[in-house]
Amino acid sequence: MPNIKTDILVIGAGSGGLVVAVGAVQMGEDVVLLEGHKMGGDCLNSGCIPSKALLACGHVAHSQASSARFGVSAVNPNIDFPAVKNSVQEIIAEIAPKDSAERLASLGVQLIREFGTFVSPSTVKAGPFTISARRIVIATGSRPMVPPIAGLDQIPFDTNDSIFDLDERPDHLLVVGGGAVGIEMAQAHRRLGSMVTVFEADRILNAFDAEPAAAVRDALISEGIRIIEGAKVSNLSQHEGGILVDTDRGDKVKGSHVLVAVGRKPNLERLNLEAAGIKASSAGITTNARLRTSNRRVYAIGDVAGGAQFTHVAGYHAGLVLRALMFLLPARVTPTGLPLAVYTDPEIARVGMSQQEAQKRYGSKLATSRFDLCHNDRAITNRNTVGFIEVLIVRGRPVGVTIVGQQAAELINFWCLALKNRLRMRQLVDIVTPYPTLGELNKSVASAYFAPKLFENPHVKGLVTFIQRWVP
């Protein structure tokens, strides 16, 4: 049986694992990378990329159906669902080479297409190989959670792992779960011609404050999506050629397809963590602020480490671990600048604290500045003025920002930089932006913070009067 000794072993070739493997090998380290499933992980194959590709197809269809306000005759779009599916797969194929075995081999990474299982604190078995490493990084990601709903095991259902493989458009898609995945897929399929009903035990998008979530809810309802909130799905069953959903409050809805989107669970089962002395829970592997596990040789990053389950978080973790492995720098996770976004229309994005979190922590010290899209000239020219930007401020520094509206996920980048570097509002108000752009919103909301201090302060007005009257 082949024995391999290496500097760094990375388990999992998703977004985080690939960053570590490529970064380490380019620094001159010997690197072995294990992947027993698909290269690129969930993000490339069944997560970020295909979902945004499907949303883009839905956006084009919706634009055709709602173009009359621009003086362009609206048409009922003719949607070729197999062609839509092919478009999604073409986009995946275009991005896939960056995560491919060929690219990794060209850089010097030794890729083994097997799952990894610990046999000791520093040794992992992968198929016929036994690999010993100075340092090991676990980046096995997560998979869709399948809840214990009565009857679910008796019906066909999809998760994000399978929804993009459908050959035919769902006639009526029943979405169980009102988080980001469920809501994005609800809007995409509705715009592509499906009837859609969403079931959520709490309220949709409950990771966000109520107002931004309501903006998306209103948009979905206006497009014909039925949203049932505050109702837990209690049973699923086959009924008259379809699938019947029952809720605990008595709702009964029949559809053709079911999408289960109630969260994710970390991929731990194959790892045999006990053999390596690594502590874990159902939420993921236990790590310290430097992402090191209870085994000092081993780090865990991304979804498998618990916490926020986003591709950009996995990439952030990978960068921190590379600094620790390559330069022995004491890099620590600081969640201040980590954003989250939902790519519906309107989009929602947030970085830092929510209104509820900030109010609880800062109380009367908290100030708020807000600017609505309906006052932004570029939004007006686009005839898309739904939304707002709201900044939460303590002692002149932003501590949380929420943006609702077109390109919210792009606009939030500005505030990720501001929060990460603890910039003050007075620094942000001095920026110069092109006109007309949506980016002006960032300066507008900063200016709105200072407006009452300038225009409603009698002392400031008195000073201006004195200067204008007495200073030559």
Rounded distance, CA 228 to CA 214, Å? 13
| Residue 146, pLDDT score | 95
Please, which pLDDT band fits residue 241 given cuts at 50, 70 and 90?
A: confident
Return contacts of 218-221, CB within 8 angstroms, 24+ apart: 219/187, 219/344, 219/345, 219/346, 219/386, 220/183, 220/186, 220/187, 220/190, 220/344
Residue 433, number of CB atoms within 10 A of its CB:
14
On the question of pLDDT at 462 being above 70, the answer is no
H helix intervals, 271-363? 311-327, 355-362
| Residue 461, pLDDT score | 65
Residues paired with 402 in a beta bridge:
350, 390
Rounded distance, CA 352 to CA 338, Å? 7
> Contact 343/52 with Cβ under 8 angstroms?
yes
**What is the sign, positive or negative, of the torsion defined by CA atoms of 330, 334, 337, 341?**
positive
Q: How many CA atoms lie within 13 A of 438 on its CB side?
A: 23
Pick from 189-193, 237-241, 468-472: least confident: 468-472
Please, which pLDDT band fits residue 464 given cuts at 50, 70 and 90?
A: low
H helix intervals, 121-235? 180-191, 210-222
On the question of pLDDT at 108 being above 60, the answer is yes
Residue 455, number of CB atoms within 10 A of its CB:
9
> Contact 165/138 with Cβ under 8 angstroms?
no
The average pLDDT across 334-342 equals: 90
Please, which pLDDT band fits residue 336 given cuts at 50, 70 and 90?
A: confident
> Contact 403/411 with Cβ under 8 angstroms?
yes
Digit-coded pLDDT (tens) for 431-444: 999 999 999 999 99
The average pLDDT across 98-117 equals: 96
| Residue 213, pLDDT score | 97
Quote the longest CA-to-CA distance of the chain: 92
| Residue 454, pLDDT score | 59
On the question of pLDDT at 351 being above 80, the answer is yes
Residue 275, number of CB atoms within 10 A of its CB:
15
| Residue 74, pLDDT score | 95
Instruction: Read off the DSSP letter of residue 250.
Output: S
- Calculate what percentage of the chain has a pLDDT beyond 90: 91
Rounded distance, CA 325 to CA 292, Å? 11
| Residue 191, pLDDT score | 98
Task: Look up residue 76 and give its two tokens.
Answer: 């009922």
On the question of pLDDT at 1 being above 60, the answer is no
On the question of pLDDT at 337 being above 90, the answer is no
> Contact 22/16 with Cβ under 8 angstroms?
no
Closest CA to 387 of 356, 413, 348: 348
The average pLDDT across 89-97 equals: 96
| Residue 307, pLDDT score | 84
On the question of pLDDT at 472 being above 80, the answer is no
Rounded distance, CA 389 to CA 424, Å? 17
On the question of pLDDT at 452 being above 60, the answer is yes
pLDDT, the chain, mean: 95
On the question of pLDDT at 460 being above 70, the answer is no
Exposed/middle/buried for 260, CB within 10 Å: 0-12, 13-18, 19+? buried
CA 42 to chain centre: 12
Digit-coded pLDDT (tens) for 356-415: 999 999 999 999 999 999 999 999 999 999 999 999 999 999 999 999 999 999 999 999
Please, which pLDDT band fits residue 163 given cuts at 50, 70 and 90?
A: very high
Digit-coded pLDDT (tens) for 203-240: 999 999 999 999 999 999 999 999 999 999 999 999 88
CA dihedral 198, 200, 204, 210 (to 10 degrees): 140
